[in-house]
Amino acid sequence: MNIDRQSGWLDTAEILVSPNQDDRPDETDICGIVIHNISLPPGQFGGDWIADLFLNRLDPGAHPYFAEIADLRVSAHLLIRRDGELQQFVPFHKRAWHAGVSCWDGRERCNDFTIGIELEGDDETAFTAVQYQQLVAVIKTLLATYPLLTVDRVTGHEHIAAGRKTDPGPYFDWLQLKQLLHT
């Protein structure tokens, strides 16, 4: 697994370019990784709905919940599906629109300096072993590519948008992630 520094793309991911991105204020200031969870419709896994949301092509008539979110303009850098498949929507040196109103270590606008990784999941379901394996491989690759990133600079959406967001949720095993990152 490698990241092309010039393009910002991961060589093992399916590339689906989201329009929901722009330039970072400083593309060398990549110093955090934010873990999220997402399922569309809520609590259901599989299908192309997540990609459709990030690509601005979610059909509001396909599910009642989609009518509420079809106009959102959001993205993450990377999605790790339940089976471990990787889909990348935004090059890592660009700003994905994943964190919203957020604050980390006194810095607001976390999209400016973080990489957003979505895990296909929800707050009520354990994540799969292969998702953890892929997440660890991706994080280790990011650490090797971007010098300001460290193992201690990985957090959850719930931590940077407390009271507003709950992901990756109670079933995300932070201890397991830290142990795997140190092996």
Which residues share a beta bridge with 3?
Answer: 10
Residue 146 has what pLDDT?
97
Q: How confident is the model at residue 99 (pLDDT cuts 50, 70, 90)?
A: very high
- At 180, which helix (H) or strand (E)? helix 174-181
Task: For domain 14-181, give the CATH number.
Answer: 3.40.80.10
Residue 125 has what pLDDT?
97
Summarize pLDDT for 109-124 with one digit per residue, the tens.
Answer: 999 999 999 999 999 9
Predicted structure pTM score = 0.97
- Say what percent of the chain tops pLDDT 90: 99
Summarize pLDDT for 129-148 with one digit per residue, the tens.
Answer: 999 999 999 999 999 999 99
Examine the residue annotation and report whether 118 is marked as an active-site residue of this protein: yes
- At 101, which helix (H) or strand (E)? none
Residue 140 has what pLDDT?
98
Residue 183 has what pLDDT?
85
Burial of 25 (0-12, 13-18, 19+ CB in 10 A): exposed
Residue-averaged pLDDT of the chain: 97
d(Cα 94, Cα 114) in Å, to the nearest integer? 10
pLDDT at 64 > cutoff 90: yes
| For the chain, domain boundaries | 14-181
Catalytic position from the list 108, 118, 124, 158 = 118
Residue 86 has what pLDDT?
98
